[in-house]
């Protein structure tokens, strides 16, 4: 995603929340490297596929945490400020998550 396509809005997560997400993403990065190693040494496909499924579960957890943080902060705040457009935005995101 190009920098310029990004929303001008900002999120305001606590440092603890950001730290938790970063730790999870570091672990996922390590898992991806692990899968590359498995492929390099011709590991059996079933084992590789099992590892990829584990990465997908870990990514699902990250996206659910982010959605939860988003809905409990930005979405609530913007609705309370009378800006209901945020609902359309988050629905687009949720539908994308449901389709993936």
Q: Which of 89, 90, 86 is nearest to 78 (CA)?
A: 86
Q: Is 2 in the site for a second copy (CB under 8 A)?
A: no
x/- track of binding to a second copy for residues 16-55 (CB under 8 A): --x--xx--xx-xx--xxxxx-xxx-xxxxxxxxxxxxxx
User: Contact 57/27 with Cβ under 8 angstroms?
Assistant: no
Spatial separation of the C-alpha atoms in residues 68 and 54, rounded to whole Å: 21
Residue 93 phi, psi (nearest 5): -65, -45
3-state secondary structure of 52: helix
At its nearest, how many Å lie between a second copy and the CB of residue 4? 12
First CA to last CA distance, the chain: 17
User: Which of 2, 4, 7, 16 is the binder for a second copy (CB under 8 A)?
Assistant: 7
Q: Is 84 in the site for a second copy (CB under 8 A)?
A: yes
Number of residues in the chain: 100
At its nearest, how many Å lie between a second copy and the CB of residue 40? 7
Q: Which residues bind a second copy (CB under 8 A)?
A: 1, 6-13, 18, 21-22, 25-26, 28-29, 32-36, 38-40, 42-57, 59-60, 62-64, 66-72, 74-76, 79-80, 84, 87, 89-98, 100
């Amino acid at each position: 995603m190009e920098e310029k396509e990004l929303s001008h809005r900002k999120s305001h997560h606590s440092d603890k929340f950001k730290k938790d997400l970063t730790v999870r993403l570091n672990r996922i990065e390590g898992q991806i490297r692990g899968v590359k190693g498995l492929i390099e040494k011709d590991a059996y496909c079933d084992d590789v596929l099992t590892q990829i499924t584990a990465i997908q579960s870990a990514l699902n957890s990250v996206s659910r945490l982010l959605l939860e943080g988003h809905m409990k902060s930005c979405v609530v705040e913007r609705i309370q400020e009378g800006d209901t457009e945020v609902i359309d935005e988050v629905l687009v995101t949720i539908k994308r998550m449901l389709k993936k």
